[in-house]
Structure 1
Amino acid sequence: MAVRRIKPNILSNDFEASSRFYRDLIGLDGGHGLDWILFFGGEVREVQLSVMKLDVRAGVHADVSIEVDDLDDVHARCVAAGAEIVYPLTDEPWGLRRFFVRDPNGTIVNVTQHHE
């Protein structure tokens, strides 16, 4: 199992202000996405920041997203360890398979794998 990238998710109710800040002040590219999430980054895919409203499907905010190459393995290990699964293993219509798990500090982690 390998981690492909780690991406912070910032909760926002003001996409216009967030876009100005991350694009105009910080200098990130992007600011495009869906009506509930915007993506900012650099020239490489591994450098990305998400600004989002409350997750449209899960109904909770994940503080960080971690993309892995074997989601089933990570999910099975989390379940076996008794970790709290906050959002079940789901194939999303936008091309991700994912689940949310709460870490020991209370942080909600969105663990993802792109559909191949």
Structure 2
Amino acid sequence: MKVTRIIPDVRVPDLDAARGFYADYLGLDVEEFDLGWVTRRTSSSTGAVVQLLTGDATAAEDPLVSVMVDDVDAAFREARERGYEIVHPLTTEAWGVSRFFVRAPDGTVLNVVQERPGS
């Protein structure tokens, strides 16, 4: 398993209100996707990125970061072998990603995710 990207997940009460700050003030001018409860904003000039979420739609807890990997199945197996707490089971979501949440020893919840072709 190889980590390919790490994205901060920022919980906000209102996505529309947050868009103005992150797009206009910080220059994250590209909206990569919007699922209504989560959106990813990226800068077209620097590649800086953040995900904004009001609350995860399919998990009981919200992650602090999303860790993109090249093999989510291997990442899941290794997390279990190491005895880490799985907060959200390995799931293929309707929007085309496979993911699970794992709690780091410090308590941080990470969304470990692999984008599937066509997502």
Shorter-chain TM-score above 0.5 = yes
Partner Cα separation in structure 1 for residue 91 and residue 5 of structure 2: 19
Equivalent pair of 2:30/2:44 in contact (CA under 8 Å): no
TM-score by length of 1: 0.91
Residue 17 of structure 1 is matched in structure 2 by 17
Q: Percent identity?
A: 38
Q: Which runs of 5+ in 2 are unaligned?
A: none
**Corresponding residue SS for 2:13:** coil
Residue 75 of structure 1 is matched in structure 2 by 76
Residue 63 of structure 2 is matched in structure 1 by 62
Equivalent pair of 2:99/2:112 in contact (CA under 8 Å): yes
Equivalences for 1:33-48 in 2 at 5 Å? 33-43=34-44, 47-48=48-49
Question: Given residue 21 of structure 2, which amino acid in structure 1 is its aligned partner?
Answer: F
Residue 27 of structure 1 is matched in structure 2 by 27
Residue 51 of structure 1 is matched in structure 2 by 52
Question: Given residue 16 of structure 1, which amino acid in structure 2 is its aligned partner?
Answer: D
Report deviation, 1:79.
0.3
Question: Given residue 12 of structure 1, which amino acid in structure 2 is its aligned partner?
Answer: V
Report deviation, 1:35.
1.1
Equivalent pair of 1:98/1:112 in contact (CA under 8 Å): yes
Equivalent pair of 2:28/2:44 in contact (CA under 8 Å): no
Partner Cα separation in structure 2 for residue 78 and residue 39 of structure 1: 26
Q: Spell out, residue by residue over 1:24-46, the C-alpha distance to the aligned partner (whole angstroms, 9 max, x if none).
A: 111111345121012100238x6
Residue 91 of structure 2 is matched in structure 1 by 90
CA RMSD of aligned residues (A): 1.5
Q: Spell out, residue by residue over 1:32-90, the C-alpha distance to the aligned partner (whole angstroms, 9 max, x if none).
A: 5121012100238x642110011000131111000101111111111011100000000
**Corresponding residue SS for 1:78:** helix
Q: Which runs of 5+ in 1 are unaligned?
A: none
- Structure 1's 81 and 107: CA in aligned 2 closer, same or farther, altered over 3 A? same
